[in-house]
Amino acid sequence: MGLRQLFLFPGEYHKVFRTSLLILLAALTFGLIFGSIYVGYMDYYALEELENGLDYYLQITDEGGEVTRARIATNSLNTNGLFIVYTVICGLAVIGLPLVVGMLAFRGALLGFTTGYLVQRLAWKGVVFVGVTLLPFALVTVITSLFSGATAMTFSWIILKKVFGGQDHRPTPILGYLGLELLAFLIVFLLALLEAGTVPWLFARLLPWALN
């Protein structure tokens, strides 16, 4: 029974999980709005650097080499995988909870900025380009990030209640927490492999069309 409690979150913490989801969703939405608005305030030189980066990506995509796929997989894991790792640490440390909210807001800002820039740069073609190449992966990433962050916040709340409440003597569900976060990491790992296999192919066909 004790081992089972190391895996299962107490039922009364479902409300904490839902509240955590709402907080993180609000942070993500704020980041999305901020990132999309920030594009309109960029100066000419910053936009020119982005243009050069887009042209460079078009060139290496045209080459179609393994380096492109490896780079995409590595970047995806560095971004999404490290987010899960940092979230786990924040959940265990408790005091890192505000960082989880901040990281979600930052991820939202990056997504909003990228989407806003491509739509501004490519007009209606940018909408199609984002919808086909970025949006499917972004949706999975956002859902996984929200799940991971809310799980970490719920686990931290359990620890806080044990430390300051003093009445809950049930085992802390550490194995359940680590298992759920491992599941989130596996999802982003598989997503990185899927991105590496499909994004170069999509970019090679859609990016030249969108830029013309």
What proportions of the chain, in percent to the nearest 5, are helix, strand and coil?
Answer: 90, 0, 10
pLDDT of residue 153: 93
**Digitized pLDDT (tens) for each residue of the chain, 212 residues in all:** 466 667 777 777 889 999 999 999 999 999 999 988 987 777 665 666 666 556 555 555 555 444 467 778 888 888 899 999 999 999 998 888 889 999 999 999 988 888 888 888 788 888 888 888 888 999 999 999 999 999 999 999 888 887 776 666 677 888 889 999 999 999 999 999 998 888 878 877 787 787 77
Indicate the residue type of 19: T
**Rounded distance, CA 120 to CA 89, Å?**
37
Nearest to 51 by CA among 118, 146, 108, 150: 118
Q: What is the DSSP string of 127-195?
A: HHHIIIIIHHHHHHHHHHHHHHHHHHHHHHHHHHHHHHH----SPP-HHHHHHHHHHHHHHHHHHHHHH
**What is the rounded CA–CA span in Å between residue 195 and residue 208?**
19
- Would you state the pLDDT for residue 81? 92
At 55 the pLDDT is 58
Rounded to whole angstroms, the Cα distance separating 85 from 102 reads 15
Q: Nearest to residue 77, comparing CAs of 171, 188, 153, 178? A: 188
Whole-number Å distance between alpha carbons of 103 and 60: 30
C-beta of residue 153 within 8 angstroms of C-beta of residue 97: yes
Angle, helices 82-93/135-165, rounded to nearest 10 degrees:
10
Residue 82: predicted pLDDT: 92
